[in-house]
């Protein structure tokens, strides 16, 4: 591969790896994982070599864990935990409460609020206890707000909800309390999209978590998803947002970073766009590393061979991740590697 001949880009094969420089910089560097792919040697070896954290892309969601109302299927999640233990990696859990990615028996089940409340409480208890001591941080609630910062209509909120319909963020508070009781040692995160910089939505997230902290609702951090659909990112706004969250005593994890680029009908991107993509990765990693409180950077997958972007963008965008479809590092990898190697230069 051409990329491997360029100085620096071959660093993963011959020099230190991303996880080695991340360990020096004292930052977690993770990737979302699809456990069925772990049997592919290149997938497993790249993952174990370059990352010190994993998260189940889908394997710990309701649609995988809960084939029906009474059964739990932990096989895929357990496989990921075993892999992580074999390679000294941390595991983030994703996600306990979300209006999407739920099985039909639940979403279309016409349960009463009381039944839903029981189902959710039991689910949180059972899943968190199963993974206690193995999953160090959970996305307890995912995407509960719409793009304007209003509480989203959902199964858990008001359709019909768990009994706290119309009471704003009250249901979120309730599930954080359940989660803390289920595994008091796990770090509990609120995970969101579109609230990375400073905007209406991130203002609402900030107000919510500030209120939670003031009233001692158990919450440890905010996950900024960071799916970047255009080739720019406002790093100073991201820094400002991380700084105000950190000032509340919260950790920030970048949880689902990917930077998609336009692709042609064969899925190929231009070299210029891949270079611009690398600069976006660089500025985001720089913003995180130089913000007190930003403790993890995770990409949503790691190889362009397996990424949700194609299906999500109807194939018009793709190639969003640091490794290409043959597991060669891309310019984006080099940017990640260089920025993390530079370490934390300031901590404002």
Residues marked active site are found at 143, 256
Q: How far is the CB of 107 from ligand XIL (least distance, A)?
A: 14
Please provide residue 92's backbone torsions phi and psi, each rounded to the nearest 5 degrees.
-95, 140
Site string for ligand XIL, 231-250 (x = CB under 6 A): --------------------
CB 300 → ligand XIL: shortest distance, Å? 6
User: Contact between 57 and ligand XIL (CB under 6 A)?
Assistant: yes
Between the CA of residue 54 and those of 88, 154, 200, 294, 299, what are the distances in Å? 10, 28, 31, 17, 10
- Is residue 58 close enough to count as binding ligand XIL by CB under 6 A? yes
Decide whether 101 or 341 has the Cβ nearer to ligand XIL. 101
Whether the CB-CB separation of 165 and 114 falls below 8 Å is answered with no
Report CA torsion sign: 35, 309, 318, 297: negative
Give the x-and-dash track for 105-144 against ligand XIL (CB under 6 A): -------------------------------------x--
Task: Work out how close the CB of 328 gets to ligand XIL at its nearest, in angstroms, rounded to a whole number.
Answer: 22
Residue least distant from ligand XIL (Cβ): 308
CA distance 106 to 115: 11
- Can you tell me the distance from the alpha carbon of 328 to that of 172, in angstroms, rounded to the nearest whole number? 41
Evaluate whether 297 touches 29 at the Cβ level (below 8 Å): yes
Query: By C-beta, is 58 or 273 nearer to ligand XIL?
Result: 58
The residue from 72, 74, 136, 308 that contacts ligand XIL (CB under 6 A) is 308
Return all residues near 302 (Cβ < 8 A) that are at least 6 apart.
31, 46, 47, 50, 51, 321, 322, 323
The correct pick among 37, 101, 167, 199 for binding ligand XIL (CB under 6 A) is 101
74 belongs to the binding site for ligand XIL (CB under 6 A): no
Helices 200-214 and 235-246, axial angle in degrees (round to 10)? 10
Binding site residues, ligand XIL, CB under 6 A: 57-58, 101, 142, 225, 256, 308
């Amino acid at each position: 591969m051409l990329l491997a001949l360029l100085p620096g880009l071959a660093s993963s094969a011959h020099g230190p790896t991303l996880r080695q420089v991340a360990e020096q910089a004292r930052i977690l560097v993770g990737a979302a994982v699809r456990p069925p792919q772990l049997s592919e040697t290149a997938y497993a070896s790249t993952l174990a070599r370059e990352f010190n954290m994993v998260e189940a892309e889908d394997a710990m969601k309701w649609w995988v864990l809960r084939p029906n109302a009474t059964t739990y299927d932990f096989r895929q999640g357990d496989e990921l935990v075993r892999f992580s233990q074999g390679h000294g990696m941390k595991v983030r859990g994703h996600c306990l409460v979300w209006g999407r990615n739920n099985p039909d028996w639940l979403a279309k089940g016409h349960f009463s609020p009381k039944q839903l409340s029981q189902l959710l409480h039991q689910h949180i208890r059972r899943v968190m206890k199963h993974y206690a001591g193995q999953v160090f941080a959970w996305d307890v609630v995912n995407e509960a707000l719409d793009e304007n910062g209003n509480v989203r209509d959902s199964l858990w909120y008001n359709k019909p909800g768990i009994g706290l319909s119309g009471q704003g963020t009250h249901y979120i508070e309730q599930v954080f309390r359940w989660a803390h009781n289920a595994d008091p040692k796990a770090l509990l995160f609120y995970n969101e999209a579109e609230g990375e910089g400073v905007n209406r939505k991130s203002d609402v997230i900030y107000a919510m978590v500030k209120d939670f902290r003031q009233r001692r609702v158990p919450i440890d951090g905010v996950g900024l998803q960071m799916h970047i659909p255009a080739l720019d990112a406002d790093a100073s706004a991201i820094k400002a947002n991380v700084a105000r969250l950190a000032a509340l005593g919260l950790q920030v994890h970048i949880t689902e970073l990917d930077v998609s680029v336009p692709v042609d009908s064969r899925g190929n991107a231009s070299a210029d766009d891949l270079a611009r993509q690398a600069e976006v990765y660089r500025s985001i990693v720089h913003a995180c590393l130089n913000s007190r409180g930003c403790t993890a950077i995770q990409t949503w997958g790691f190889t362009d061979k397996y990424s949700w972007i194609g299906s999500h963008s109807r194939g018009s965008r793709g190639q969003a991740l640091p490794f290409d479809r043959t597991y060669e590092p891309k310019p984006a990898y080099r940017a990640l590697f260089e920025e993390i190697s530079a370490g934390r230069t300031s901590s404002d």
